[in-house]
Each structure stands twice: as C-alpha cells, then as structure tokens.
Amino acid sequence: MTAAVQTPFQRIASDFAASKLALLGFAMLVVVIGIALFAPVVSPQNPYDLTQIDVMDSKLGPGEKSMAGQTYWLGTDDQGRDMLSGIFYGLRISLGVGVLSTILALSLGILFGLTAAWFGGRIDALIMRICDIQLSFPAILIALILLAMLGQGVDKIIIALITVQWAYYARTVRGAALVERGKEYVEAARGLGLSSSRILFRHLLPNVLPPLIVVATVQVAHAIALEATLSFLGLGLPITEPSLGLLISNGFQYLMSGKYWISFYPGLALLLTIVAINLVADQLRDVLNPRLQK
Amino acid sequence: MTEYIIRRLLQSSLVLVAMSVLVFAGVYAIGNPIELLVNPMADDAERARVIANLGLDKPLWEQYLTFFKGALTGDLGKSFVFNVPAVGLILQKLPATIELALCAMVIAILFGIPLGLWAGLKPDSIAGKTIMAGSILGFSLPTFWVGLLLIMLFSVQLGWLPSNGRGDTVNVLGFEVSFLTADGLSHLFMPALNLALFKLSLIIRLTRAGTREALLQDYVKFARAKGLRASRVVGVHVLKNIMIPIVTVIGLEFGSVIAFAIVTESIFAWPGTGKLLIDSITSLDRPVIVAYLMIIVTLFIVINLVVDILYSVLDPRVRLGQGAGQGAH
Amino acid sequence: MIPRFIRRLAIVLLASTVALATTAAHAARDISIGLQAAITSMDPHYHNLSPNNSMMLHVFEGLIKRDENQKLVPGLATSWKAIDDLTWEFKLRKNVRFHDGSPLTADDVAFTLKRVPNVPNSPSSFATFTKPIVDVKIVDPHTLVFKTATPHVLLPSDLASVMIVSKLHGEKATTEDYNAGKACIGTGPYKYVEFIPNQRVVLKANYGYWGGEEPWDKLTFKILTNAAARVAALLSGDVQMIENVPTSDIAKMEKDKNLSVVSKVSNRVIYVHLNQSTEKSPPFVFDKSGKPMDKNPFRDVRVRKALSMAVNRDAIVDRVMEKKAVPAAQLLPDIFYGTSKKLKPTRFDPEGARKLLAEAGYPNGFSMTLHGPAGRYINDDKVIQALAQFYSRIGIDTKVETFPASVYFNRATNLEFGYMLLGWGTESGEQASAMRSLLATRDPAKGMGVNNRGRYTNPAFDKLLEQALVTMDDKKREGLIQQAAEMVMGEVGLIPLHYEVSTWAAAKGFKYTARTDQYTVATSLKPSK
C-alpha cells in the first residue's frame, strides 16, 4: 500500500504513532478505559455491595488478609472496602462523570459562544450577561442547591458540573470566534453568500477548536478534581459508592497518621488516568489541527 | 467606545438584579437557617421569635422586596449570624483574598508564559517534554490534597513556613497587605502556590499551543525568513498571537481565584472571603451570601469589560458590540 | 524611588526581627490555641452556641460554674438554696471586681437577668434559662431572691449558662459594643483584646482576678476549621493546643513524645430516631420490591429492638471511632445525674434481630435509606456506612444518603426521612432535660418533645417525666428520672449508639484537663512539670 491511497484515518493513525510518548499514553488509556468498562469483572470484590464489605476489616495495610482469608493487595479503607476494587469501580465513576460532564458542557458552551460571537448585539449581550451570573455563582453553592432540590446521585453531580462549566467554555469560544470572525476567510465565505450556520460550523468552529481542546482536556481533569473537591466538602456522590475523588478525600484524613494507602493509591490512579488522557489529547490536537499539518 | 461602556454598565445593573433574585431563591431552596442558628435546646416559642426577628416568616417575595429596597440605599442587610452589616464583613476580608489571588496569578503568569513559550518553541526537546508532563501534575491532583502535602512538607517536616494565617501586615493606602513583611511573605507563599498550580498548568499549555500555531503562520515564517532576530519574532509576533486566548483565560481564572479560593483558604486558614463564603453557605447566612455574590458579580463585570476592551486593543479586527451577522446586511 | 522602597523594606524587616526577639522572651506565657468552630460574637447574651459559650467563660462568669465533669460549683454566688418550691436565695461573692475595677453587686445580676431576653436580633437567645424567673428581689448588695411561677428544679443549672455582665457598661451597650470590646467587661480571668470574626480572638490576663492568677499572659484563639490544618498547626508549633483531634490521628499522636493527648467521654450521645409519625410506611422505607407498606414498621417495638440488636456498637467504637467513643445505653454516660446503672448497651445479636423481624412480620426484611449529616458529628459519615453494613446483614436492603447540616436538619425536622442519625449534647448534665426534648410526646406549648423527630409517644413515660421535673428533692427526683429512662430505653424510644469522646492535644510542657462539655477553656490548661 502506498501513501497515495491512505485514508484520512490511516494518515491520522500514522501521524499519531509518530510519538512514542503518545503511544504509551494511548496504551495506558486503553487499560484505564478497559478497567472502567469491565470493573465488575476484574475486581476481586464489589465495593458497593454492603454485604461484601466488613468494617472489622477496615484500615488493613496493603497485602494483609481479611478475616475470611481474602488478600487485600492495596489494603482496605475505613469501611473495610478493598482498595483495589474501590479504585476500579471509582475509576469508572470518575471517568464517566468527568468525560460526560465535559462533553456536554463543551457542546453547550460552543453553541452559546458561537451564537454570541456571530450575532453580536443584544444576543451577545444577553448570553454574556448570563455567563457573568453563572461564573460568579460558586460551584459549591450550585452543588448545594442541586443537592437540596434533587438529592444525591451520579446524575445530579453531572448536572452540577455542567452547570458550573458551560459558561466557561462559552466565554472562551466567544473570545476565539470574535477574532476569527474578522479574518479574511470568513469575509470571503460571507461574500460567497454561504448561510450563517454553514459558516459557523464549517468554517469558524474548526478554527476556534484548537485552543478549546487544550482547555477541554485540562477540564476533564478539572471536572474529576472538582468532583473530588465537592466530595471533600460533603456535597459529592453517595458515600457508599465512592468515586476516585471520594476515595482520595476519604483517605485525606489518614495521610498524617501513616495509613497512606487509603489516599495514595486512588491519587496515583487518578494521576495516571489524567496523564494518559492528556498525552493522547496533546498528540491528537497536533495531528488534527488543520494548521499544524506538515 | 464610551457608548459601548455605558451600555455594558446598564446591562450590568440588570445582571445584579437577576443575580440577587437567583441567590435568594437558591438559598431558600437549600433550607431554613433557623435549624443551624437556634440552640437545639430552645423551645418552639424561641424558634418562632427568631424566625419573626429575621423576617423569615414572611413570603419570599416580601423578603426580597425588603432586601431590594435596602439595596437601593446601599444597605445589603445584616448577617444573620454575626449581626453586623454583611458588606462590612466582606470588605474586611476582601483585601486578604485579593492579595492571595494576585500573588497566585503573578506566579502563574510569571512562570507559565516563559515555560509555555519554551515548550512551544522546542516541542521535541527534553525540556519541552518535561514541562508538558510536569504541567499535567498541576491540574490532576485535587487542591486540598496538594495543600496538605505542602503543609506536611514545609511546615511539619522542614519547619520552614507557618502552616496557617496571614502573619504580620502593613497598611498600604488603607489596605492591610502582608507581602511587604518577611513574616507576611512566609505566610503567603504556600497558599499562593497552592492556588497558582492549576492556573500555571493551564497557562503553560495555552501558551505552548498558541506558540506552535503562531510559528506556522505565514507572517511569522515571513518574519523569520526576513532574518529578524528570534527574540523579536517571539516577542512581537508569537506573543501577540497567543495573547487573546490567554487574556480570556486569565480574566476568567482571576475572577474564579478571587471568588472560589474556598478550599485553599480553609486548608491554610487564610482569613479571606473564600472562608467567609463557605462558612456563610454552611450556616445559610443569606445576607452575607447575597452581598458577597453581588460584590463578586460586580468584580466579574469589571474584569470582563476590561478583557473585552483588551481584545480590541490587542487585535483591531475585533469590533466591540457589533455582530458580524448584522454587519453583513 | 527604588532605593526608598528598599529602605522601607529593610526597616520593616528589621522591625519584624526585633519583634520576633521580643516575642521569644514572652513566648512561654503567650499561647495560641486552635479551635474548630468560629465564635460569632463577644456578647455573652447574643448567641447560645457552644463555641461562644466556651469562649465567654474566659471573660465572664456565671453565678454558678460547671467543673470539668459539669458538676455545679460556686461561681459569683458563694451559696444558693431553695427557700420553698418557688423561691430561691443566692448569696454573692464579696470583693469581686470587673475588669475596669468596679465592684460586682446584686444590681449587676438583676440587670443581667433583664438584659438576657432583650438582646436585639439574637439568633438564639439565653431567654430559655431566665424565663422561669418571674421576679427578682435585691435584699442587700450581695443577696438576691428569685421567684418562679412553677417549681423549677433546674434553676441552678440554668443560671450556670447565664454570664453576669456589668450594669455600668452594659446598660446602653449593643452587641456591637461587646464585639468591639467597649462593653466586653466581665469578672473573668481574661480580658478582651481583639475579636475578628472567623479569624481569631485575643485575650490577656486579668491580674487582679479573685480566683488567683492564671499562668498565661496572652491567649490567641485561632479558628482552624479544617481538621488536618489544625493538626498541622500543632505539629509545626504554630499553636500550643488544639481541640477535636481527628480520630485518625490520635493513635499516632499519643505515641509522640512531644505531644500530650487527653480525652474524656462527653455529654453528647449519637443516636437514631425512627420516624413513627405515619400510619403507613414512613419516607424512604419500603417493602423489598420498593412499594410502600400498609404499616409503619417502626411503630412495632420488635422492629425497633431488632434494629438496635443488629448494631455492633463495639465494632463502631473500635474500628470507626478508633476507640474514642463509648457504647451507649441511654442519653448520657452513667457518671451523670439521673442515669441508670441498670441500663447496658444492647448486645450485638444479628440472629436475634432476624428472628424479631420475622416475628414482627418481616421474615425477609424490608428496604430503607439511612439519612445522616456529613461533618456535624465525629465521623458521622463513617458511622452511618457501618450501620448500613449491619442492616444489610439482617436482610434489610439498605441505602445511605448524607447531607450537609444546612440541608439535613431542616429536612429531618420536617420528618422527610425515615431513619435519622442524630446527636444530642446535654448541657445541663442531667438526663431529664435530654429525655424531655428527645422522647417526651411532642407538645410545643409545654416545651415537651421539642426535638422528638421520631415522634415516639408513651403516656406512662410522659407522666413519670413530668412528675420528675417538679420534684424538688434531689434523691427522689433522680429515682423518678432513672425509672423513666429504664422504661423508655426498654421500649427503644430511640436507638442510642455511642457517646462521643472529646480529645485535645497539646505541645510538650502543657497539660489540659479534659472536660465532659467539649468546651476548650484556657483555665483548664496548665504548664506541666
């Protein structure tokens, strides 16, 4: 097969594989996603099933055995939950929450940001003032209001995270789009009589996307960390179904007592996940960016 | 330009009203502060007295009207908990938070832009890769976790820096600041660093991305071909190209740093507004929450206005307050 | 411009080194203490809240004081007695002076009692304690006679919660005047220096104190809400003592030779209210298939017993509380007045619990959501998860939902939950007032069952309790209270879990005498030899 008949996908794949670091990140990400998807299969224990955990096994160190003879390779937390299983299940929730809320918030942000930049005037003013309000509402207050009105749950946390983040994207998109709007290619497209939506999504969007992808990949990590912070403040997920963030904040108070594993391993898992996401995203951004192609 | 600014200010007052309505309704939805204020031993008569005293027995719209009338005369109400004017309480704490936020921002910009430039100019060098990998650390770990690790290292293990508080302050132009005393600086360092880490990573990454793109733009290629010195190419052409997204994000982040330094302030017991806000939210001290958010919104409005004006200064192609769609017709 | 700036910086630096040197000389007598919760005011009658009450004990004093075991001891009154069922006589201590040098007289006491119910905008007043007194008579400058409308045996205990202020400074004073220090003038061992809300309180020694000189010149109380930050502040030497040491750190700190850790069982019981207000299923309680049931299972004493038997209190104390708790059998540890030594914590018996459930008609259990606060009581979120484990083992499908205090207590008061984890600290130190608030049939007009969120009701128990509350004879009253406690605990009116143990940690060279009321007072902190 010659380069001439390469499909776009093949081209992206080969460009991507040019960086060994990115390949490593990709491999890590595959493992992480695999674990998240198949957590119930690969975990020694279902950490969310109350009948399977025993408070008498709590705070065992890595490698210690339970009263029933099961070995806890990464130790147990303060409820007697197997840390390894807890991390696998927690990964599933954290990734889900982080990715889903970022994608949804990003989409909302793009929609409102582009609209504001394109139409300008009253619409721009209205959207931007809503953003002002949204951005000055502290995440913790939004989370508390939603918790009081809707109760606890993964879906509620996702709603809270979207509410907190969309305006952020909207402003960033608007800023980038305002610049692009004045450039020659947009003027040219308009001169050709193309429809607004066509110019917006076919011409403007690809050009404002690169800085946005930077922000978004950082924000997936930020969303996961934000969820952890909300959990730390008691506003996060149900405590019997901990995410990575909740595991970290639960273990936080044991950091000084020498029981490092309760917080350390979930922290490590979170770190690796985010590194993997970013290694892949960094390379993807360079590969996909129409202006960076060699 | 003047007309544009006036229009923005008019919109802003509407934003303030909308904001206050939202906060009123939101705090009302969370619950009644009475349970947290009144000693559990109090009987129902005492409870009723306090409820009536705080005006909580009236319908929400009436409570809001009372607030609104007061707000027009500049009175945003008294704290339920402290019984002192909410604005006074906030203004007492605001300098500490602004100082912390400014320091964090300065750290982030001072280190972020050069590191980002370096990584962008030499993306394949070891230094460039290390900078990028290191920047991931900045936002992948929760703030509270990093904060405690900093305390454990610098205060408990090494004993170099104090673990909490603000230290000695000096009065400058009527504001208490701590960055002018050695003691104050030592108190300031860790919380500012803790708060700066996330912004630092973000700025590094944005700068790098912007730089890489700029290097491929025709005018930069052209400037390079013309034999301009590398420093001038970077200083004038590249920096200019990456400024817009960075200014946006700095504007956003500066606001959020001021508003939401909650976690950092509570871990380092920094006596700022973030700690006041979280305490007020936990005790449902509505007048303080409302007044606080009004002040923050005002702050945001000003910052955003400055950012928008900066756009037009940085890039003459950005036309303020005028849509492309409209221009076409 | 620049040299001037540098010069100024140099002066500042020099000044701070000099300041550092001078503080070092006094360091031993100037101490800092890390507190968990903020002080909301320096007005002793503004906000009836534990952190405030604890702080006020430094500046002000009551007629009667409570010692570290909450036993009543003479304060500004040297003696008091009930002349008849409705009349009390109090003798004031002589030669007591306020911080400004003016002497304490009966006028100040009468003024205090008048001020207490009339503090504007008080979010929780002390009027509850002074309300029973309908008439105050000043017999001479050091003798007062109080009249009550009905026999009120708890009067001495109530008055121990009322701080005496100076009439001279208090007459025109507002809460702001107290906060600013202008009116914050008491008779206590420390004087006001500075109060910054949410940040710190600074006090200095009152050298002419009638009770003898204190070992400290200056006290700085820092508000360090975050537990880890509090511990770090102690370990790094920024403060000399902290309160509420997180249980996770206690074991390691106890082994540290540079620290002294003290703990003591407190007057706070952690318990469960079971919502018995509804005829049918209470909120969040369903049958196994998730449908509401026709009967409220919590109204059946066998179910309540089963839910108590299923709890492994020793496991909670040992594993969740790191041994810093004591299994509970009633509402106060049995060192307190009105508690029964016959009551023992319910034995852990999951088999027995299953059997009782079957007898009550739930052989396969049912399903419920446990509700509790997050961060209000020590390890509350961990305790409730452990409870969920225990219940899932006896066949009850259990879920857990926790809320911040701001959301939780409102909803609990509105009876929006079925199974509620709660806590109660008995400031009076006797069991009748706790039972009156938590277990008596709810009757707001009479002040009965104000916090009875389970809506448990038992007329026989109410009668016993009401009788006890008007019996003046201490011995006879205690017998009645004990009888009532045995009756209501036998019926599992609520499920007592454990008593909290409060812990303080101090740096080497300091010794704190632990208290049952969870208060942190510098008068209990002495240099150790």
Higher pLDDT, C7 or C100: C100
Regarding whether C275 and C216 lie in a shared domain, the answer is: no
pLDDT, one tens digit per residue, over C124-163 is 889 989 999 999 999 999 999 999 998 998 899 999 999 9
Mutate to test the interface with C, among B46, B78, B170 (most CBs of C within 10 A): B46
- Does the beta-carbon distance from B155 to C405 stay under 8 Å? no
- Does the beta-carbon distance from B35 to C410 stay under 8 Å? yes
Q: What is the full DSSP assignment across B96-141?
A: HHHHHHHHHHHHHHHHHHHHHHHHHHSTTSHHHHHHHHHHHHHHHS
Partner A contacted by C320 (CB < 8 A): yes
Partner A contacted by C385 (CB < 8 A): yes
C186 has pLDDT over 60? yes
Report the residue of chain A nearest B253, measured CA to CA: A168
Residue range of the domain that includes C291: 266-501
- Does the beta-carbon distance from C385 to A240 stay under 8 Å? yes
Q: Interior CA angle at C425 toward C491 and C284, to 5°?
A: 55
Partner A contacted by C200 (CB < 8 A): no
> Which residues, other chains included, contact A284 with Cβ-Cβ below 8 Å and sequence gap of 6+?
A16, A22, A213
Q: List the alpha helices (DSSP H) in C313-447.
A: 313-315, 350-359, 380-393, 405-413, 431-438
Residue type, position B200, single letter: L
Partner B contacted by A215 (CB < 8 A): yes
Chain B residues with CB under 8 Å of A225 CB are 139-143
- Does the beta-carbon distance from B164 to C451 stay under 8 Å? no
Regarding whether C281 and C208 lie in a shared domain, the answer is: no
Q: What's the CATH architecture for B87-328?
A: Orthogonal Bundle (1.10)
Q: Would residue C326 count as lying in a domain?
A: yes
Give the minimum alpha-carbon distance from B316 to chain A in angstroms, rounded to a whole number: 9
Separation of first and last alpha carbons in chain A: 21
Cβ–Cβ < 8 Å for C427, C126: no
Regarding whether C342 and C206 lie in a shared domain, the answer is: no
Cβ–Cβ < 8 Å for C116, C170: no
Q: What's the structural domain count of chain C? A: 2
Chain B residues with CB under 8 Å of C4 CB are none
Q: Which residues of A234-245 are buried (b: 16+ CB within 10 A; e: fewer)?
A: bbbbbbbbbbbb
> Which residues, other chains included, contact C260 with Cβ-Cβ below 8 Å and sequence gap of 6+?
C505, C506, C507, C508, C510, C511, C512, C528
Q: How many CA atoms lie within 13 A of A195 on its CB side?
A: 3
Mean pLDDT of C47-55: 92
Model-level ipTM above the cut of 0.90 = no
C22 has pLDDT over 50? no
Give the minimum alpha-carbon distance from A67 to chain B in angstroms, rounded to a whole number: 32
- Does the beta-carbon distance from A132 to B300 stay under 8 Å? yes
Question: Residue C410 and residue C415: Cα distance in Å, rounded?
Answer: 9
Interface of C with A in 242-271 (CB under 8 A): 246, 248-249, 251-252
Q: Would residue C20 count as lying in a domain?
A: no
> Which residues, other chains included, contact B302 with Cβ-Cβ below 8 Å and sequence gap of 6+?
none
Cβ–Cβ < 8 Å for B16, B294: yes
B189 Cα distance to chain centroid: 18
What is the structure's pLDDT at C18? 41
- Domain map (residue ranges) of chain B: 87-328
pLDDT, one tens digit per residue, over B59-74 is 888 999 999 998 888 8
C42 Cα distance to chain centroid: 18
Mean pLDDT of C356-367: 95
Report the neighbours of B using a cutoff of 3 or more CB pairs below 8 angstroms.
A, C
pLDDT, one tens digit per residue, over C230-277 is 998 999 889 999 999 999 899 889 999 999 999 999 999 999 999 999
- Does the beta-carbon distance from B206 to A278 stay under 8 Å? no
Interface of B with C in 18-57 (CB under 8 A): 30-33, 35-46, 49-50, 53-54
**What would you report as the CA-atom Rg of chain B, rounded to the nearest whole angstrom?**
24
Q: Would residue C228 count as lying in a domain?
A: no
* C-alpha torsion B177→B181→B183→B189, nearest 10: 70
C101 has pLDDT over 90? yes
Give the one of B78, B82, B168 whose C-beta lies nearest to C40's C-beta: B82
> Which residues, other chains included, contact B64 with Cβ-Cβ below 8 Å and sequence gap of 6+?
B20, B21, B24
C121 Cα distance to chain centroid: 23
C218-223 and C200-205 strand pairing: antiparallel
Which range has the worst mean pLDDT, A266-270, A274-278, B99-103, C446-450? A274-278
Give the one of A179, A229, A274 whose C-beta lies nearest to B136's C-beta: A274
Chain B residues with CB under 8 Å of C407 CB are 30-31
Tell me the pLDDT band of A2, cut-offs 50, 70 and 90.
very low
- Does the beta-carbon distance from C236 to B170 stay under 8 Å? no
A72 beta partners? A64
Higher pLDDT, A287 or C481: C481
Mean pLDDT rounded to a whole number for chain C: 91
Give the one of A50, A151, A252 whose C-beta lies nearest to C401's C-beta: A151
Give the one of C46, C123, C222 whose C-beta lies nearest to B165's C-beta: C222
Give the minimum alpha-carbon distance from B158 to chain C in angstroms, rounded to a whole number: 9
What is the structure's pLDDT at A54? 86
Tell me the pLDDT band of A178, cut-offs 50, 70 and 90.
confident
Question: Residue C500 and residue C482: Cα distance in Å, rounded?
Answer: 22
- Does the beta-carbon distance from A190 to B324 stay under 8 Å? yes
CATH of the domain at C408: 3.10.105.10
Regarding whether C287 and C150 lie in a shared domain, the answer is: no
pLDDT, one tens digit per residue, over A129-138 is 888 788 778 7
Partner B contacted by A150 (CB < 8 A): no
Regarding whether C50 and C128 lie in a shared domain, the answer is: yes
Please name which of A195, C185, A22 lies closest in space to residue B325, comparing C-alpha atoms.
A195
Question: Residue A281 and residue A220: Cα distance in Å, rounded?
Answer: 11
Regarding whether C132 and C275 lie in a shared domain, the answer is: no
> How many interface pairs between B and C have CB atoms less than 8 angstroms apart?
155
Q: What is the pTM of this model?
A: 0.87
Chain C residues with CB under 8 Å of B49 CB are 125
CATH topology classification for A8-50+57-292: MetI-like fold (1.10.3720)
Give the minimum alpha-carbon distance from A255 to chain C in angstroms, rounded to a whole number: 9
Report the residue of chain B nearest A144, measured CA to CA: B30
Please name which of C235, C512, C30 lies closest in space to residue B163, comparing C-alpha atoms.
C235
Regarding whether C437 and C380 lie in a shared domain, the answer is: yes
Separation of first and last alpha carbons in chain B: 22
CATH of the domain at C67: 3.40.190.10
What is the structure's pLDDT at B316? 64
pLDDT, one tens digit per residue, over C330-340 is 999 999 999 99
Tell me the pLDDT band of A193, cut-offs 50, 70 and 90.
confident
- Does the beta-carbon distance from A133 to B18 stay under 8 Å? yes
Give the one of C228, C232, C388 whose C-beta lies nearest to A252's C-beta: C228
Partner A contacted by C406 (CB < 8 A): yes
Chain C residues with CB under 8 Å of A55 CB are 312, 315-316, 319-320, 385-386, 389
Regarding whether C286 and C211 lie in a shared domain, the answer is: no
Tell me the pLDDT band of A3, cut-offs 50, 70 and 90.
very low
Backbone angles phi, psi at C523, to 5 degrees: -70, -15
Mean pLDDT of C364-391: 94
Q: Would residue C233 count as lying in a domain?
A: no
Q: Would residue C506 count as lying in a domain?
A: no
Give the minimum alpha-carbon distance from C313 to chain A in angstroms, rounded to a whole number: 11
Give the one of A132, A140, A278 whose C-beta lies nearest to B304's C-beta: A132
C512 beta partners? C525
Higher pLDDT, C296 or B258: C296
- Residues, chain A, total? 294
Q: Would residue C17 count as lying in a domain?
A: no
What is the structure's pLDDT at C10? 45
Higher pLDDT, C278 or B311: C278
pLDDT, one tens digit per residue, over C503-526 is 999 999 999 999 999 999 999 999
Give the minimum alpha-carbon distance from C489 to chain A in angstroms, rounded to a whole number: 27
pLDDT < 70: residue spans in chain B: 1, 174, 255-256, 258-260, 315-329
C77 beta partners? C92
Regarding whether C192 and C56 lie in a shared domain, the answer is: yes
What is the structure's pLDDT at C16? 45
Question: Residue C505 and residue B272: Cα distance in Å, rounded?
Answer: 27
Partner C contacted by B10 (CB < 8 A): no
Chain C residues with CB under 8 Å of A80 CB are 319, 389
Regarding whether C115 and C195 lie in a shared domain, the answer is: yes
Residue listed under structure tokens 């220090």? C181
Higher pLDDT, A260 or A1: A260
Q: Would residue C516 count as lying in a domain?
A: no
